[in-house]
């Protein structure tokens, strides 16, 4: 069928490739000259390129020579030469676009081209990967290329950082040349590899430090996102959040978990699988009210009970063990729905994770308080230039452009694709489907054909594994429980007769080579021959058997090709077509033969949620049994429509998230900008004095208005000013002020405010006063910002109700969010003004390092253990801390409290109207 959109897109894609091909020819023409360069001459090209940049040339001018240099370095160091299509891919990435390159086309090698070119500017190039393993493997694998060119490459991990250094030997046979270094040094490398969460959390933590020297990143210049669809789309629904523990009882979760177990599906509640929510029926509401001994569970007085109940019901009915999470070592660990990997440290928010913990009977951890947050969309949009690469991007081209302004360019394969993709087989029941899958695997395994089976959950992978065990089929299971060795297992999935079951796209980023990995053959042969005994030189042992191992590998490769290549079995259609395409794409790399087929049942999640009833009616009409497949164009259309609907639904969720976060993002830019000013040595004294004057002028406006008796509220004014300036002299008392005109009162109090500030500075000393100003401003910027994030999130959660009144919730959120932000700025000013005269610096002995805050997630993504922010004064033998110490004994706040202990949630005695913990309690 004629598809004008496809034709237009295809033409545009071909025009872009046609425009780039002359550059490929130019790079190829340089190859003979670059082959003649010595190692030193090749290395000297880098400083020469940098000199030319300083003299006015740009990166595009250097591109042909820089790419030719990288290709030559790759040939000499790792024995790989960039294909012409890989040069095209490198140019697409350099332009800040997404390069769609099929599995096996060497994206890891492609990335070295633009990473090196953009690193020449000296501002850093980042390669964003999907897991820590790839963030370590790829710079180690490509490290010799960069080293030959004289540029440095580092890797940041969850809890460590490394620099590739050929002169270093750690003693680790696998990662011997990775030298540990600080995180800050890793970011100072020319090229830095790491995961999206590590980059994002480092950004957030950098905006929580109290000294610029503690920041690790040096700006966001250029980034390539590997598996860009996984990072910028699949994980984009999950904002990055750094959390601290909140004050919350855990006993309620356990009580409501017991109550939820007594609720019966359908009778007491219904499930909306599309939105993953639970709704109580009338019978269910009555049962809950009897159990809780309340007359109306939805009465505002029972709001907290509804919160616990809804989470307990969702945990019981929707979130399934070994699908959505696993229980390991007494902890509930989330499983990534897209990769099947465990995500230790990440937690669901708003009490859901605690509800799941209570359901499973493990220790219930406290809820968390958001301290810093950002969406992946807004983090990556901060890069000066962003690019990405993946095997599947075209189906999401619209989203990439709308949210990230990234165009997608499809790069042709180096060899023609010959994989055979069979039509789907649809079964009535899941039992019938899995029986058919097991039978197909058994038959193909008997012929020696390697098989990769994709499942959607740990539960399904273990179910299929049990079926294969009963049939006597040897196989490997690769799921979230064993992800540490996933790369090694996947790399061997192309061996003769191998059967590998993998959850979703586990092992992504690792090629499946028919016959297995040739290097692995050499290592195994050396081991069999006894050449790898203790103390043996592994490299020498492997080199000794390399030729023999190559011959063995070539023989098995021929046998695998003869058996039909790698066969991919999909046991369920995914929500997104590209995830299915990724699974299929594991077969048929570099022109290899291969095949694929998907098996579907009407009981699969996606068929239940979209379109399954129509197909079920069709199967009933034909009287098909559960083990008889249906192959019909109507079924294929129903599946395609179901996936398109789900993709649209998920896109709306992500767009919804970024629309709302854009509002907070503007607030974030202002607050983080103010923090940077504070830390970079701005004139805080002038700023604070201006705040004091504004705060006093506000008091003048409210207390110097004539009342009925024709007098001002001078006693109220004195009290309010004294709450700011504790040692207010008698000439500023109400009786004395009564002798003055309005202008004279204002002038005297403003003059006294400046004088009192100077006395405070004289008492502390200028240097310590500057430190105090910085700490006070940071204290209230941060505490108010945390409070603002919570308020904004709470408003976002309930803003949907505004749609009932025919009002656009986003418009309301923007308007009220702006009002709240103005209140935030006013509150920060109020807090600083009411604290600065009371605050002091007290020397205290150094304390033991604090434990990192529990990693809590906002909606699934949480911070790794935090760097502990310390004030600058903590570098010596003492730690600087704020103290609300009155010079004559008790502070005015304590005096106003009448000597009693002020509770954290009590009104602050200073008269501000705020809770003590949010006002002077922060300094106590």
**What pLDDT band is residue 914 in, cutting at 50, 70 and 90?**
low
**What pLDDT band is residue 303 in, cutting at 50, 70 and 90?**
low
852: DSSP letter: P
Residue 920's CB: how many other CB atoms inside 10 A?
27
Q: Pick from 751, 726, 730, 752: which is nearest to 739 by CA?
A: 730
**pLDDT for the residue numbered 772:** 92
Q: Do residues 91 and 63 touch, judged by C-beta distance below 8 A?
A: yes
**pLDDT for the residue numbered 315:** 93
Which tens digits make up the pLDDT trace of 646-696? 888 888 888 888 888 899 999 999 999 999 999 988 889 999 999 999 999
Q: What does pLDDT average to over the chain? A: 83
What CA–CA distance (Å, rounded) separates 579 from 334? 20
- DSSP-based helix, strand, coil % in the chain, nearest 5: 55, 15, 35
**pLDDT for the residue numbered 701:** 86
Distant-in-sequence, close-in-space partners of 435: CB < 8 Å, separation ≥ 6: 467, 627
Q: Do residues 236 and 399 touch, judged by C-beta distance below 8 A?
A: no
CB-based burial label for 397 (10 Å; 0-12, 13-18, 19+): middle
| CA distance to 12, 81, 703, 714, 720, per residue, from 737 (Å) | 78, 85, 12, 7, 14
Q: Do residues 545 and 532 touch, judged by C-beta distance below 8 A?
A: no
Q: Do residues 400 and 98 touch, judged by C-beta distance below 8 A?
A: yes
**pLDDT for the residue numbered 246:** 67
| CA distance to 67, 233, 604, per residue, from 431 (Å) | 54, 32, 11
Angle at 404 between CA 402 and CA 406, to 5 degrees: 90
CA atoms within 13 A on the CB side of 274: 13
Q: Pick from 165, 155, 138, 147: which is nearest to 227 by CA?
A: 138
Q: Pick from 643, 560, 559, 558: which is nearest to 600 by CA?
A: 643
Q: Do residues 832 and 693 touch, judged by C-beta distance below 8 A?
A: no
**634-639-642-644 Cα dihedral, nearest 10 degrees:** -100
**pLDDT for the residue numbered 10:** 53
Which tens digits make up the pLDDT trace of 147-172? 999 999 999 998 899 999 999 998 88
Is the pLDDT reported for residue 860 higher than 90? Answer: no
Dig out the tokens for 471 from the structure: 């049939």
Q: 854 in helix, strand or coil? A: coil
Is the pLDDT reported for residue 5 higher than 60? Answer: no
Is the pLDDT reported for residue 283 higher than 80? Answer: yes
H or E stretch covering 787: helix 766-798
Which tens digits make up the pLDDT trace of 719-729? 889 889 988 99
Which tens digits make up the pLDDT trace of 318-338? 999 988 899 988 999 988 776
Phi, psi angles (nearest 5°) of residue 190: -60, -40
**319-322-323-327 Cα dihedral, nearest 10 degrees:** 50
Q: Do residues 472 and 308 touch, judged by C-beta distance below 8 A?
A: no
Distant-in-sequence, close-in-space partners of 626: CB < 8 Å, separation ≥ 6: 427, 428, 429, 431, 432
Q: Do residues 216 and 204 touch, judged by C-beta distance below 8 A?
A: no
Provide the angle, in degrees to the nearest 10, between the axes of the packed helices 684-703 and 766-798.
60
Q: Pick from 723, 687, 747: which is nearest to 837 by CA?
A: 723
**pLDDT for the residue numbered 875:** 28
* Residue 623 Rama label (left phi>0; alpha psi -120 to 50; beta): left
Q: Do residues 772 and 840 touch, judged by C-beta distance below 8 A?
A: yes
Which tens digits make up the pLDDT trace of 508-565? 667 788 988 887 888 888 888 888 777 677 778 888 888 888 899 899 999 999 999 9
* Residue 820 Rama label (left phi>0; alpha psi -120 to 50; beta): alpha
Give percent above pLDDT 90 in the chain. 45
What CA–CA distance (Å, rounded) separates 298 from 234? 35
What CA–CA distance (Å, rounded) separates 652 from 578? 17
Phi, psi angles (nearest 5°) of residue 281: -85, 175
**pLDDT for the residue numbered 839:** 84
Residue 431's CB: how many other CB atoms inside 10 A?
14
Dig out the tokens for 862 from the structure: 């949480």
* Residue 364 Rama label (left phi>0; alpha psi -120 to 50; beta): beta
Is the pLDDT reported for residue 600 higher than 80? Answer: yes
Dig out the tokens for 561 from the structure: 């090709």
What CA–CA distance (Å, rounded) separates 176 from 178? 6
**What does the pLDDT average to over 836-856?**
58
265: DSSP letter: B
Q: Do residues 740 and 752 touch, judged by C-beta distance below 8 A?
A: no
**What does the pLDDT average to over 405-418?**
92
**Residue appearing with tokens 């109580």:** 280
What CA–CA distance (Å, rounded) separates 385 from 662? 19
């Amino acid at each position: 069928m004629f598809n004008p959109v496809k034709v237009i897109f295809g033409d545009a894609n071909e025009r872009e490739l046609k425009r780039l091909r002359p550059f490929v020819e130019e790079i190829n023409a340089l190859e003979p000259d670059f082959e003649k360069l010595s190692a030193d001459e090749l290395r000297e090209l880098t400083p020469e390129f940098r000199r030319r940049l300083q003299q006015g040339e740009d990166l595009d001018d250097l591109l042909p020579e820089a790419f030719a240099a990288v290709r030559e370095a790759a040939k000499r160091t790792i024995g790989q030469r960039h294909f012409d299509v890989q040069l095209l891919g490198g140019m697409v990435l350099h332009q800040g676009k997404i390069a769609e390159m099929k599995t096996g086309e060497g994206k890891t090698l492609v990335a070295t081209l633009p990473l090196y070119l953009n690193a020449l500017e000296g501002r850093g190039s980042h390669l964003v990967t999907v897991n820590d393993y790839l963030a370590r493997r790829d710079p180690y694998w490509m490290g010799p290329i960069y080293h030959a060119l004289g540029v440095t490459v580092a890797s940041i991990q969850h809890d460590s950082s490394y620099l590739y250094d050929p002169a270093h030997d750690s003693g680790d046979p696998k990662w011997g040349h990775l030298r540990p270094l600080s995180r800050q040094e890793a970011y100072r490398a020319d090229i830095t590899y790491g995961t999206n969460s590590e980059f994002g959390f480092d950004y957030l933590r950098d905006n929580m430090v109290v000294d610029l020297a503690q920041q690790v990143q040096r700006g966001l210049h250029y980034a390539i996102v590997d598996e860009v669809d996984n990072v910028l789309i699949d994980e984009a629904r999950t904002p990055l959040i750094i959390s601290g523990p909140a004050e919350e009882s855990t006993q309620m979760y356990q009580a409501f978990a017991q109550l939820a177990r007594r609720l019966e599906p359908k009778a007491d509640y219904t499930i909306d699988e599309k939105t993953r929510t639970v709704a109580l029926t009338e019978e269910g509401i009555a049962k809950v009210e009897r159990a809780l001994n309340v007359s109306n569970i939805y009465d505002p007085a029972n709001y907290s009970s509804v919160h616990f109940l809804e989470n307990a019901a969702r945990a019981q009915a929707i979130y399934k063990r070994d699908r959505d999470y696993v229980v390991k070592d007494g902890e509930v660990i989330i499983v990534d729905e897209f990769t099947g990997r465990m995500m230790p440290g990440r937690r669901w928010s708003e009490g859901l994770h605690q509800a799941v913990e209570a359901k499973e009977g493990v220790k219930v951890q406290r809820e968390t308080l958001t301290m810093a947050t950002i969406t992946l969309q807004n983090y990556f949009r901060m890069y000066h230039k962003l690019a990405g690469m993946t095997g599947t991007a075209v189906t999401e081209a619209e989203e990439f452009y709308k949210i990230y302004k990234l165009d997608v360019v499809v790069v042709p394969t180096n060899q023609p694709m010959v994989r055979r993709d069979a039509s789907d087989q649809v079964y009535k029941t899941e039992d019938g489907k899995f029986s058919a899958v097991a039978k197909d695997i058994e038959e193909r395994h008997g012929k020696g054909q390697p098989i990769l089976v994709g499942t959607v959950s740990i539960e399904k992978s273990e179910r299929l594994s049990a079926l294969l065990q009963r049939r006597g089929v040897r196989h490997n299971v690769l799921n979230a429980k064993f992800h540490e060795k996933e790369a090694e297992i996947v790399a061997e999935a192309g061996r003769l007769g191998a059967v590998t079951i993998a959850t979703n796209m586990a092992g992504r980023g690792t090629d499946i080579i028919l016959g297995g990995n040739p290097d692995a053959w050499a290592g195994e042969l050396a081991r069999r021959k006894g050449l790898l005994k203790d103390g043996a030189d592994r490299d020498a042992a492997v080199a000794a058997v390399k030729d023999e191992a190559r011959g063995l590998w070539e023989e098995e490769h021929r046998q695998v090709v003869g058996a039909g290549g790698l066969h991919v079995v999909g046991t369920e259609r995914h929500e997104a077509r590209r995830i299915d395409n990724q699974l299929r794409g594991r077969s048929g790399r570099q022109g290899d033969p291969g095949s694929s087929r998907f098996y579907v049942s009407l009981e699969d999640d996606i068929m239940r949620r979209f379109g399954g009833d129509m197909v079920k009616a069709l199967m009933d009409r034909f009287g098909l049994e559960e083990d008889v497949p249906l192959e019909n164009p109507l079924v294929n259309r129903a599946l395609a429509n179901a996936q398109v609907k789900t993709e649209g639904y998920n896109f709306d969720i992500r767009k919804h998230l970024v629309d709302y976060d854009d509002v907070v993002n503007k607030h974030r830019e202002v607050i983080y900008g103010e923090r940077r000013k504070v830390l970079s040595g701005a004139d805080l004294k002038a700023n604070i004095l201006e705040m004091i004057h504004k705060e006093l002028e506000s008091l003048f406006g409210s207390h110097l208005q004539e009342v009925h008796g024709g007098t001002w509220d001078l006693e109220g004014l004195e009290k309010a000013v004294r709450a700011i300036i504790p040692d207010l002299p008698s000439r500023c008392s109400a009786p004395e002020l009564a002798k003055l005109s309005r202008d004279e009162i204002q002038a005297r109090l403003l003059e006294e405010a400046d004088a009192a500030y100077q006395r405070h500075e004289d008492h502390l000393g200028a240097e310590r006063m500057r430190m105090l100003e910085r700490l006070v401003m940071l204290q209230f910027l941060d505490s108010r910002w945390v409070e603002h994030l919570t308020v904004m999130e709470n408003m976002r959660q309930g803003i949907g109700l505004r749609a009932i009144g025919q009002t656009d919730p986003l418009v309301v959120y923007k308007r009220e969010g702006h009002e709240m932000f103005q209140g935030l700025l006013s509150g920060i000013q109020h807090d600083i003004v009411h604290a600065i005269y009371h605050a002091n610096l007290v020397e205290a002995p150094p304390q033991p390092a604090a434990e990192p805050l529990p990693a809590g997630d906002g909606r699934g993504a949480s911070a790794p253990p935090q760097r502990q922010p310390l004030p600058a004064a903590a570098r010596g033998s003492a730690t600087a801390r704020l103290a609300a110490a009155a010079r004559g004994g008790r502070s005015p706040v304590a005096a106003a409290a009448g000597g009693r202990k002020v509770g954290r949630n009590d009104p602050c005695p200073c008269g501000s109207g705020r809770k003590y913990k949010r006002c002077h309690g922060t300094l106590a």
